[in-house]
């Protein structure tokens, strides 16, 4: 048994049939082939699957695809400009070496964009607290925090 689902993904209207138990991350990766959204823990603890749902960061492994009906989803593939220019947060992660293996990076960037939009002037402590649900095994977070602060400043200007 499948259910019709209509939503917007990265600015494009999408209509698909999904099984009611399909997770949003499965829809994005397996059906729509947007593999920048990663599956890390399947329990919502690592943040590798973070996407924006109507502009707010959510962990896509913790919600059913049908819960996103009528919503607008933005994945890491949808944050860069149509010209291909990186989003200011993506550019900051690159410039400040906020990534190593890259597995956590899409979720970190998506969460960081939401964090930067939520407050005009972030402190280091607020960035660290805001990224609490995103795990990285490579960097030690120092450069990620620098990247988020720089990306937030670039988003303001």
Question: What is the per-residue pLDDT for 65?
Answer: 98
46/80 Cα distance (integer angstroms): 23
Q: What are phi and psi of 114, to 5 degrees?
A: -65, -40
Q: Is residue 65 within 8 Å of 26, Cβ to Cβ?
A: yes
Q: For residue range 3-14, what is the model confidence (pLDDT) as tens digits?
A: 999 999 999 999
Q: Which has the higher per-residue pLDDT, 99 or 120? A: 99
51/53 Cα distance (integer angstroms): 7
Q: Over the chain, what is the mean pLDDT?
A: 95
Q: Looking at the predicted structure, is the pLDDT value of residue 43 above 90?
A: no
Q: For residue range 17-30, what is the model confidence (pLDDT) as tens digits?
A: 999 999 999 999 99
Mean pLDDT over 115-139 rounds to: 91
- β-sheet with 50-53: strand ranges across: 12-18, 3-9, 72-74, 50-53, 56-59
pLDDT category at 42 given cuts 50, 70, 90 is confident
User: Which residue's structure tokens are 């049908």?
Assistant: 66
Question: What is the per-residue pLDDT for 100?
Answer: 87
The DSSP secondary structure of 105-117, one letter per residue, reads HHHHHHHHHHHHH
pLDDT category at 41 given cuts 50, 70, 90 is confident
Question: What is the per-residue pLDDT for 140?
Answer: 79
Structural domains of the chain sorted by starting position, each given as residue range(s) with its CATH number in brackets: 3-78 (3.10.20.30), 88-156 (1.10.150.120)
The size of the chain, in residues, is 157
Question: What is the per-residue pLDDT for 157?
Answer: 87
Closest CA to 51 of 21, 29, 20: 29
Q: For residue range 128-138, what is the model confidence (pLDDT) as tens digits?
A: 999 998 998 88
């Amino acid at each position: 048994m499948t259910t019709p689902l209509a939503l917007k993904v990265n600015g494009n209207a999408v209509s698909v049939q999904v099984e009611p138990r399909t997770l949003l991350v499965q829809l994005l990766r397996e059906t729509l082939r947007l593999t920048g959204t990663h599956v890390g823990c399947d329990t919502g603890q690592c943040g590798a699957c973070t996407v924006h749902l109507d502009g707010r960061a959510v962990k896509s492994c913790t919600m059913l695809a049908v819960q996103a009906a009528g919503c607008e989803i933005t994945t890491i593939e949808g944050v860069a400009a149509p010209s291909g220019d990186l989003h200011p947060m993506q550019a900051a992660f690159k410039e400040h070496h906020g990534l190593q293996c890259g597995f956590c990076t899409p979720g970190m960037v998506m969460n960081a964009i939401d964090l930067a939009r939520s407050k005009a002037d972030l402190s280091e402590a607020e960035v660290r607290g805001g990224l609490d649900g995103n795990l990285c095994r490579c960097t030690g977070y120092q450069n990620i925090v620098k990247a988020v602060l720089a990306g937030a400043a670039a988003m303001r200007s």
